[in-house]
Amino acid sequence: MTDTIALTGIVATTPRHLVTSSGLAITSFRLACRQRRFDRVKNAWVDADTNWYTVSSFRQLAHNVVQSVHKGEPVVVTGRLRIRDWENEDRAGTSVEVEADAVGHNLSWGTTALVRSIAPAAAEQRDADPAVQTGPDGSQGESETQSA
């Protein structure tokens, strides 16, 4: 059974991007999710604990995340939760990871503009075939040729 989770938080580290020897793109970053609660004694909202997650994205999402997401930005992440215990010679701990299905800016804090990306295979095909052109809206279509 897979646990799906939705998180809002701040990107705490610069996203790290790599491509494996088999060609799999991976981008990961740390996400800080600060909790707030209402303190009735102070009659104000106060900061509570911060939960930390390692967010990993793969394939096209990984390419889009590394180009779009930066340290310090508020984001929304949905994905599969993985909690793993670990230990080495000196220490032991628990890592909390999210394998992202979607990552986007949190629009409660600002605006953003979407630029549709083209999958690497489609981009190669487009570059190889001069008859396929990209329109101003990003759509692809056959070029029109007029006969005299």
Residue labelled with tokens 């993985």: 82
Q: What CA–CA distance (Å, rounded) separates 77 from 127?
A: 33
Give residue 108's identity as a one-letter amino acid code. Answer: S
Q: Which of 72, 77, 73 is nearest to 56 (CA)?
A: 77
Range of the domain at 24: 3-131
Number of domains making up the chain: 1
Does residue 147 fall inside a structural domain?
Answer: no
User: Which residue do the tokens 């004694």 mark?
Assistant: 41
Q: Is residue 140 part of a domain?
A: no
pLDDT in tens, the chain (148 residues): 568 899 999 999 999 999 999 999 999 999 999 888 888 898 998 888 899 999 999 999 999 999 999 999 999 999 999 999 989 988 998 888 999 999 999 998 988 888 887 766 555 555 566 555 555 555 554 444 444 4
43 DSSP assignment: T
The DSSP line for 105-118 is E-TTS---------
Any idea what the CATH number is for the domain that residue 81 is in? 2.40.50.140
Show the tokens assigned to 82.
């993985």
| Domain membership flag for residue 97 | yes
- Within a domain: residue 18? yes
Q: Which two tokens stand for residue 101?
A: 């299905």
